[in-house]
Structure 1
Amino acid sequence: MTTNQASGAYKAFFLGPKAENEAWVRSEFQAILEHWFQWRKDLFPGDAPVSVKTERRTPAYLEARERMIAGLEDLTELLEDELPKFTPRYIGHMVSDLTLPALMGHFAMLLHNPNNTSRDASKVGQKVEAEVIAMLAEMMGFDPTRATGHITGGGTVANFEAVWRARFRQDHWLSLALYLAEERGVKLDLFSAAHMGWNRFAELLAEHNVPLDDLRGYSGVATNPYEFGERMTRAFDQPYRGPILLVPENKHFSWTKATNIFGYGEHAFWPVALDARGKMDVTALAGLIQKAKQETRPISMVVSVAGTTETGEIDPVDQVQAVLNAVREREGWDIWHHVDAAYGGFLCSLLRGEPSSVLSDANTAALAAIGQAHSVTIDPHKLGYVPYSCGAIITKDEQAYAVSSFKAPYLERQLEVPDKWSTTLEGSRSAAGAAATWLTGKTMGFDTSGLGGVIAETIVACRAFRERLVAELPFVRPLDPSETNILCYSLAHEGMSLKTSNAATEAVFDRFVACPEFSVSKTTLSGKAHAKVIERHVGAYGGVLDDDRLVLIRCVFMNPFWREQAVAEKLTADIIGHLKDWFLPAKAA
């Protein structure tokens, strides 16, 4: 199948909610097993079998086999109570039916159990990982010949990987500033030094004849960080309070975790205000950069989000990059920009191949700017439709990927190309996620004629669902903007108070939880972070703003079968019926 046929024949790439492709899928999984069996038989033909027929018929052998069969039967019975995330009736969270290439790639690689920690444990797995990182990098606008990265256990770990790398490079620049102050009596402007860039770093090393290895004793990471702070205070005659991270208020919880785990302290998390649409306010960002300068707080990184967890919105990545480009041009400050595109990264497939019209001009510009960032997080186990757990960290080049390394004697070996174990937070890493993503890319393609076309249709389906709800149920209040395949809405009559609306929305959500027919999710926007968003939302229906939180029912339209008109019409009608039954009594109350 050619890539320009993939999107049109998308149902061939999924098992289907009724296992419609069972016959040929069963045979393909059997073929994977047969290949695995035959591979074992053919390899090392001179080796004798470890068991014989008579042994396999002994009571102990048969009993062990029966225990496994019984245990597997127990497990499969338990799994009958698992949430059926393959059906279009599941619109709860960022998970859906998996592509068959992803399942087959994952399964085939799993049988060989490669560990991408080193080539000693994964010969093919590492090759597949390198190829899939290049595929993802190209999809997101990086130069695939220069970009690099690796598969992680998920978006949280990928975000941590970015923090590790940003800290690594800034620590080099700060250690040089401390060295020059203590050893040569040369005091640089501390804030400028913290963002000097690698070119200026190299110039200063040469200008002052500083051996690179000597900087280790002046590093806040390689030495005692508390002592480092004291030395910086003495050297620059001002209290040293350490670096910060600028992250929008719509951040994922992983960012507050990062400040804790990497020793920044939670006060180092400087939230960037959101505008009335719930996106990063770039004016506020520019103001915080100046505040950091005034307080001499080095900026480890600026984070923008492409696909927020709550609502799927996309920060103006292009405008964020423009702010950083401007300060670099004006002040010479090289500030790390990381894009958390764990959910929205695969929306970049809509920018590849034939142009898609489903994205707004603003979101198209935002996604197109990702390739200008230093690093990006993407989760194939979300909009890539591959099994858990599979995330990825991608950097624009090898220099941005560089990080402090460690040595493990049992892995140490002189290699032409170093293994990734020394540059990954995780040690052991399965190659199954890389294989699942690789086979999806090879067969469907990460552009509008393949996976991108399917994602585009889920966005269209989400909008059609919204339009029908609003047309038939005047009390449904969608949260605007709603630009991707996630719809959030509250329930309120005209003029209803926010407290009453929140109570009614929570009551209806509880009915959905108790209802076996559908799975939806709930999100709550609250506090100062979302004050403008809440005010705008409540004002749209003339409501009374008497609460500081907004309860929303959240529907994630990832399932590809919502693009089928008959499916969409029936399920939408059923949901409308439930909302009528469950909410209208609240009017009398």
Structure 2
Amino acid sequence: MTADHSTEAYKAYFLGPKAENETWVRSEFQSILEHWFQWRKDLFPTDVPVSEKAERRTPAYLEARERIIAGLEDLTDLLDGEVPKFTPRYIGHMVSELTLPALMGHFAMILHNPNNTSRDSSKIGSRIEVEVIAMLAEMLGFDPERATGHITGGGTVANFEAVWRARFRQDHWLSLLLYLAEERGVTLDLFAGAHMGWKRFAELLDAHDVVLDDLRGYSGVATNPYAFGERMTQAFGQPYRGPVMLVPENKHFSWTKATNIFGYGEDAFWPVPLDALGKMDVAALEALIDRAHKEARPISMVVSVAGTTETGEIDPVDQVQGILNGANRRHGWDIWHHVDAAYGGFLCSLLRGKPSTVLSVSNSAALSAIGEAHSVTIDPHKLGYVPYSCGAIITRDEQAYAVSSFKAPYLERQLEVPDKWSTTLEGSRSAAGAAATWLTGKTMGFDTSGLGGVIAETILACRAFRKRIVAELPFVRPLSPSETNILCYSLAEEGMSLKAANAATEAVFDRFVACADFSVSKTTLSGKAHSKVIERHVKTFGGKMDDDRLVLIRCVFMNPFWREEAVADRLTTDIIAHLKDWFHPARAA
């Protein structure tokens, strides 16, 4: 491992596949329980106990205790059959061994059961959430003094939070356009007005002496959205078809959900084509922005992906931001840019402290540009190595975080800093995820001397595995590029047809599923979205394009112990033996 204050002793941050740190970890968990017990005993010393020793020895009491013990035994017996995600043998999905700080932070906080919906129910949990958002913001490249956000139930909810905020902002600008057209007879350019920016918005309010509250009756969100569309059509003399979202075709499924849930309609989802590397085609993005301009379709947001679900690749975030910056300079268009970094966000830790050399120049540039975006999704329960479920939405400032608020009389009181409940999609939110991420940041650090160093080693482990299996098994066809710690590969002999290769790969994956030795996953790239990627891949083995899909075995090398030479050698040898035994091209053909 990297010789640094945290990563040279990285094994201290994990329990270990054989519970190697059991002794001191057991002691620390016992300390957490002892503190919890003593906290209860010390508070309110004049309160009387609710049960006495004699009551706790009655048959009914003892019977209840025995039912709990028996039920817990049943549960632990069932958990023997759970997927063992702690072991290096698990390389299936974006989950792995958890860090001990994350486990301990989660456990300690959940015993107190704070609900971050309000500081009335989470005095410490709410404070920790603010601190951890600042940590994550700094890692991502935001100014931690200006950035804000909150912990969510996962990346899907965090993406929804971004849509909500982008819609809130643009709805203000559209409301002003409609108000000026209907009430003042001033018709501005629809597309330019839909992206006017807050500065221009304030100037127009002042120039036309408009009171902000007067815009509510002209809002597509606060009024009837169907009537709003009819009014916009009449006001601007052309059919109003509503906003669009520009999202790359390597998207997470949550984005199509978002267009449905927020009432945009599937027609509003404009997929941005991918290039031959499976990343957003920035030329295609520019063409779609131009199309939206010509069709007067406001752009609710442009989305970049940093760490795709299938392959872990990173879109050229810097180039996307450059396009949007250029549109702002030339036309004054302020277009919301959201980075879905649910998986890849923690790769930014490789840019903090002593910069790591493990990232490519292009990926370093892409990750470095995240701090220029309006909002970011990041999942600590992925590369942050904390327990499920823990995501986060982070915006670059309070203005980008602003959103419609709601009233709940039973929670409402005058607060110097408003509680989060009224501006989060989720009501109740556990503070456990915030505590797990906070303690990870406090102990390991989100830079190359801590968590970033561990992540860098998993990338190197992935590359070492790829190099060896390709050298020993010529029928293994890795998907390129493979720039993070995710490796996807198909199985094909030279000249094999794509359909036969898919069949052979499917058959080997089925053998992995039936075998208890390893856990891998499968992904399928298909259709027009990935046509360039598939064609490029098939050329690597001179295959025949007789299918429109590409079946891949997917291995996610999140477990840091793959960097241990003895572990990697043993497990790689075993996987190679399995692949040799299971690959039967003649049967597939």
Report Cα offsets for 1:292-316 as digits up to 9, x if no partner: 0000000000000000000000000
Q: 1:578 maps to what in 2? A: 578
Distance 2:322 2:495 in 1: 41
Q: 2:38 maps to what in 1? A: 38
The residue type equivalent to 2:425 in the other structure is L
Q: 2:112 maps to what in 1? A: 112
Matched, 1:505 2:510: no
Moved over 6 A (4+): none
Query: What does 1:454-493 align with in structure 2 at a 5 Å threshold?
Result: 454-493=454-493
Q: 2:442 maps to what in 1? A: 442
Q: 1:163 maps to what in 2? A: 163
Distance 1:8 1:184 in 2: 68
Distance 1:586 1:158 in 2: 47
The residue type equivalent to 1:368 in the other structure is S
Distance 1:451 1:8 in 2: 11
Contact 1:302–1:338 (8 Å) recurs in 2:
yes
Q: How many Å apart are 1:583 and its aligned residue? A: 0.4
Q: 1:430 maps to what in 2? A: 430
Distance 1:283 1:540 in 2: 26
Contact 2:504–2:585 (8 Å) recurs in 1:
no
Distance 1:163 1:103 in 2: 31
Q: 1:350 maps to what in 2? A: 350
The residue type equivalent to 2:513 in the other structure is V
Contact 1:13–1:99 (8 Å) recurs in 2:
yes
Q: 1:283 maps to what in 2? A: 283
Query: What does 1:64-83 align with in structure 2 at a 5 Å threshold?
Result: 64-83=64-83
Report Cα offsets for 1:382-410 as digits up to 9, x if no partner: 00000000000000000000000000010
Q: 2:378 maps to what in 1? A: 378
Report Cα offsets for 1:422-469 as digits up to 9, x if no partner: 110000000000000000000000000000000000000000000001
The residue type equivalent to 2:549 in the other structure is R
Task: Give 3-state SS (helix, strand or coil) of 1:338's partner.
Answer: strand
Q: How many Å apart are 1:227 and its aligned residue? A: 0.5
Task: Give 3-state SS (helix, strand or coil) of 1:353's partner.
Answer: coil
Distance 2:562 2:334 in 1: 44
Query: What does 1:82-161 align with in structure 2 at a 5 Å threshold?
Result: 82-161=82-161
Report Cα offsets for 1:3-23 as digits up to 9, x if no partner: 941111000000000000000
Task: Give 3-state SS (helix, strand or coil) of 2:5's partner.
Answer: helix
The residue type equivalent to 1:153 in the other structure is G
CA 1:588–1:305: 2 relative to 1, 3 Å: closer
Task: Give 3-state SS (helix, strand or coil) of 1:175's partner.
Answer: helix
Contact 2:479–2:490 (8 Å) recurs in 1:
yes
The residue type equivalent to 1:438 in the other structure is W
Q: How many Å apart are 1:144 and its aligned residue? A: 0.2
The residue type equivalent to 2:383 in the other structure is L
Q: How many Å apart are 1:585 and its aligned residue? A: 5.6
Task: Give 3-state SS (helix, strand or coil) of 2:97's partner.
Answer: coil
Distance 1:4 1:486 in 2: 25
The residue type equivalent to 2:280 in the other structure is M
Q: 2:304 maps to what in 1? A: 304
Q: How many Å apart are 1:327 and its aligned residue? A: 0.4
The residue type equivalent to 2:166 in the other structure is A
Contact 1:493–1:587 (8 Å) recurs in 2:
no
Task: Give 3-state SS (helix, strand or coil) of 2:54's partner.
Answer: helix
Unaligned runs of 5+ in 1: none
Q: How many Å apart are 1:541 and its aligned residue? A: 1.1
Distance 1:123 1:159 in 2: 27
Q: 2:47 maps to what in 1? A: 47
Q: How many Å apart are 1:540 and its aligned residue? A: 1.4
Q: How many Å apart are 1:355 and its aligned residue? A: 1.4
The residue type equivalent to 1:301 in the other structure is M
Q: How many Å apart are 1:586 and its aligned residue? A: 3.5
Q: How many Å apart are 1:87 and its aligned residue? A: 0.1
Contact 2:500–2:588 (8 Å) recurs in 1:
no
Task: Give 3-state SS (helix, strand or coil) of 1:53's partner.
Answer: coil
Query: What does 1:216-235 align with in structure 2 at a 5 Å threshold?
Result: 216-235=216-235
Contact 1:148–1:394 (8 Å) recurs in 2:
yes
Contact 2:347–2:455 (8 Å) recurs in 1:
yes
Q: How many Å apart are 1:588 and its aligned residue? A: 8.9
Distance 2:569 2:185 in 1: 74
Contact 2:166–2:300 (8 Å) recurs in 1:
yes
Task: Give 3-state SS (helix, strand or coil) of 2:487's partner.
Answer: strand
Report Cα offsets for 1:96-152 as digits up to 9, x if no partner: 000000000000000000000000000000100000000000000000000000000
Contact 2:504–2:584 (8 Å) recurs in 1:
no
Q: 2:240 maps to what in 1? A: 240
Distance 1:577 1:450 in 2: 35
Distance 2:293 2:274 in 1: 21
Task: Give 3-state SS (helix, strand or coil) of 1:301's partner.
Answer: strand
Distance 1:86 1:353 in 2: 28
Q: 2:313 maps to what in 1? A: 313
Query: What does 1:543-554 align with in structure 2 at a 5 Å threshold?
Result: 543-554=543-554
TM-score (norm 1): 0.99
TM-score (norm 2): 0.99
Contact 1:196–1:333 (8 Å) recurs in 2:
yes
The residue type equivalent to 1:62 in the other structure is L
Q: 2:404 maps to what in 1? A: 404
The residue type equivalent to 2:283 in the other structure is T
The residue type equivalent to 2:143 in the other structure is D
Q: 1:63 maps to what in 2? A: 63
Report Cα offsets for 1:128-180 as digits up to 9, x if no partner: 00000000000000000000000000000000000000000000000000000
CA 1:338–1:585: 2 relative to 1, 3 Å: closer
Task: Give 3-state SS (helix, strand or coil) of 1:5's partner.
Answer: coil
CA RMSD of aligned residues (A): 0.8
Q: 1:212 maps to what in 2? A: 212
Contact 2:147–2:397 (8 Å) recurs in 1:
yes
Report Cα offsets for 1:497-529 as digits up to 9, x if no partner: 000000000000000000000000000000000
Distance 1:537 1:160 in 2: 34
Q: How many Å apart are 1:261 and its aligned residue? A: 0.2
Q: 2:265 maps to what in 1? A: 265
Distance 2:355 2:226 in 1: 53
Task: Give 3-state SS (helix, strand or coil) of 2:303's partner.
Answer: strand
Q: How many Å apart are 1:587 and its aligned residue? A: 7.2
Q: How many Å apart are 1:584 and its aligned residue? A: 4.1
Task: Give 3-state SS (helix, strand or coil) of 2:555's partner.
Answer: strand
Task: Give 3-state SS (helix, strand or coil) of 1:162's partner.
Answer: helix
Q: 1:421 maps to what in 2? A: 421
Task: Give 3-state SS (helix, strand or coil) of 1:8's partner.
Answer: helix
Distance 1:6 1:427 in 2: 37
Q: 1:522 maps to what in 2? A: 522
The residue type equivalent to 1:244 in the other structure is V
